[in-house]
Amino acid sequence: EHHSALRAAATRVAVLHAANFSLGAAALKRVLAAALAAVPASWDIEIVERHHRMKADAPSGTALALAEVARAARGAQTALRHGREGRVGARPDGEIGMHAVRGGSWVGDHAVLLAGAGESIEVRHVAESRAAFASGALAAARFVAGRPAGLYTLDHVLGD
């Protein structure tokens, strides 16, 4: 519902929407897309995110945005699997694992594990301070100021 409201507003004013205003998290999405394009489609994908113990939602919006990048690379019908417990059997092909960890005072830590036979790649972004989000929000505000009506993302801020 809120996405519809943002799209409607974007017909009248410049709107910049992001699940996470860290520029590093936006860059992680780009790195993930490139990594997925470079490895065989048979490789497994697992997303692990860590946040402070008070975070109310799981998985985080950033983890879901990373899953959307993976689904775009592998096909929108790719199933998301939120955690595993018990005797679940072998991992099905085409699944994206999602794991949310909550504890302590972690600001934000998102890792995507790409696992092939006998090798793996991990791409990760760690927000060590909430200042990273403030810095990204300021860059976004500077970018969107004076822009024509439209819906923008941090990809626009980073440069297409």
Catalytic residue (one of 51, 99, 110, 125): 51
Tell me the C-alpha to C-alpha distance, in Å, between residue 122 and each of 26, 41, 135.
16, 16, 25
Catalytic residue (one of 17, 52, 55, 82): 55
Q: Is 29 a residue of the active site?
A: no
Q: Is 2 a residue of the active site?
A: no
Length of the chain: 160
3-class secondary structure, 7 = helix
3-state secondary structure 104-148: CCCCEEEEEEEEECCEEEEEEEEECCCHHHHHHHHHHHHHHCCCC
Residues that are catalytic: 51, 55
